[in-house]
Chains A and B, each alone.
Chain A
Amino acid sequence: MLEAVVFYILAAALLGFGLLVITRTNPIASALSMVGAFGALAALYALLQATLIAIIQILVYAGGIMVLVIFVIMLLNLHEEDLKPMKARAGTVLLSLLAVFGLVLGPVFLAVFPKGNWKWAALTNDFGSIFTVGEKVFSDYLFPFEMLSLLLLAAIVGALVLSKRKL
């Protein structure tokens, strides 16, 4: 019972913050709502016994990526009058929400729901801990993991080249 209560509170927070992200005029307000959404998501991961993922979500997303986004928003120093023309129009947002949910997700829910009888697997206590996930990463997925470091290096160099005034 307690798990269900926590789940519904977190789900409402997640969707509420998500809606705030796409409706605010000021990008800073959107970014802070995004941090709230990531917090709710991390709690949901913890509820799913994904401890490592929950920690990574807070550290990398809320702590790293969102700080970068907020930093760039503040760097560009946009004023109220610059943001006015990009205000969210209630009609457009509602129309796109209705289109996405009515035309795409609604039919999918109706098709999947009656057949969706997935059950939770019985888990050991250390499922999703740093030790077990790390073991998997460094045995079965070692090569993709190493490729990831190359990708991050390429991203660093690319970001520097793109944002430098003169090379």
Chain B
Amino acid sequence: MELFYPVTPTHYLVLSACLFGIGVAGVLSRRNIFISLMSLELMLNAVNLTFVTFSRINGDLTGHVIVLFVVAVAAAEACVGLAIVIALFRLKETVDLDLFKSLKG
């Protein structure tokens, strides 16, 4: 019972590590470029949860400020990433990552 209750910071940290792991597994195992991008967002969000948890542990708001910055950078990343997807789709008519191998030696 002590493992599950009360909810300690460790619970939140383990939860965010699990979310990060799911994101990594998504990037590793899927070929659809959209799902890879969304797994990337999952990883960013897992890190945000860690920042907020440590902010709560230390009673310091710096973590919240960094989360705001990460969200802004994630928005920029999503916008440029999706523009690249559109450009790639125009060129190859597909969103399959395995078919984008022109740079492979």
Contacts and interface: CB of A to CB of B under 8 A. Distances in A.
B82 A22 contact: no
A3 B10 contact: no
B32 A100 contact: no
**How many B residues touch the partner, as a band?**
35 or more
Contacts of A159: 79-80, 82-83
A88 B71 contact: no
Contacts of B64: 50, 52-53, 128, 133, 136
B103 interface: no
Interface residues of A, number: 89
A160 B65 CA distance: 29
Given A14-B19, A158-B80, A69 B37 contact: yes
Given A27-B35, A31-B38, A56-B68, A105 B59 contact: no
Interface of B is mostly: helix
B82 A72 contact: yes
B7 A4 contact: yes
Interface in B50-68: 52-53, 55-59, 61-62, 64-65, 67-68
A3 B78 contact: no
Nearest to A38: B45
Interface string A47-79: 011101100110011001100110011011010
Interface of A: 1, 3-4, 7-8, 11, 14-15, 18-19, 21-22, 24, 27, 30-31, 34, 37-38, 41, 44-45, 48-50, 52-53, 56-57, 60-61, 64-65, 68-69, 72-73, 75-76, 78, 82-83, 85-86, 88-89, 92-93, 95-97, 99-101, 104-105, 108-109, 112-113, 116, 118-123, 127-128, 132-133, 136-137, 140-141, 144-145, 148, 151-152, 154-156, 158-160, 162-163, 165
Which 9 A-B residue pairs are closest in the complex by CB-CB distance? A121-B59, A22-B26, A155-B76, A162-B83, A159-B83, A118-B9, A27-B34, A96-B28, A96-B25
